[in-house]
Structure 1
Amino acid sequence: MAYEGINLYECATTLYPWGQTYVVVVSGSSWNPCGHTILNVGGANGHYFHIAGDGYARPYYMDAKGYQRYLSENQKKELNRQYVKVPKPLKAQQRLDELASKPWLWMVLPNNCASFVEKILQAGGADGGLYSNCPAMEGWN
């Protein structure tokens, strides 16, 4: 099975560097033209968070090396990396911790990888989101 990251089961002990936050879009599977959304906190050498899987799944964490492994093993390419200002970093981290504390119900478009990232960033006071929940078709607005 291809590497997805490490399942999140506990809260971070320190605040992540939310001043360098990016919405990262990678290519999707052959049946998925919308791509896949990953939250990057701390820039290219920082922390990566995403949700993947069918039904109920726990969020995943990757460091920079894990992210490169994820791209390689899943035969994905980074399509876009867009900076997002997070004015309330503690609120964003609290929401991430909350979402990591329980399985996520994956529902393809209404409750998918893009909406996972949206919930965290909007809790942190970031403006915008993805209107179609199809990240390869639009940028963070």
Structure 2
Amino acid sequence: MSGDSEAILPRRLAICRWLLRVYRLQVTVFGKNLSVEARKALSPSAYQEILLDLYEARLENRQVYQSCLAPGGPPATAHRQAARLEALGAVSRSPDTSDHRRQNVMLTEDMQAVLDHFMDAVEAATREFAARSR
């Protein structure tokens, strides 16, 4: 994150948290009001939440373990999700130095840059929308 001004990081973190809140609200509302088939077809991707969670963790300088990617689910789900994201070049995994049974997961530099750009674009779109709504 070198080169980022101190003012940008809190804004990006706030936007990320807002997007996570909207994502989780959508999942909750869809889950309560749609059939299982419709919910699967219309719900946002689970990878979206993982990427936002990893982005938030990176901005907060927190480590994320692979097992945390699918809370409440079986460890195999977290492993599959991490492997898929790694194959897509979105994350990297490495053994935890204090406990080799755990895998650390973090965004790749390329994915970090994409998400930085996305947060900035969301902020700009929000400002534009607010200006037109006055």
Aligning the two structures, in what range does the TM-score lie when normalised by the shorter sequence? under 0.3
Q: Which protein is richer in strand relative to its size?
A: 1
What TM-score does the superposition give when structure 2 sets the normalisation length? 0.26
Q: Which protein is richer in helix relative to its size?
A: 2
What TM-score does the superposition give when structure 1 sets the normalisation length? 0.25
Q: Which of the pair has the greater relative contact order for Cα pairs under 8 Å at 6+ separation?
A: 1
In our comparison, the structure showing a higher alpha carbon Rg is 2
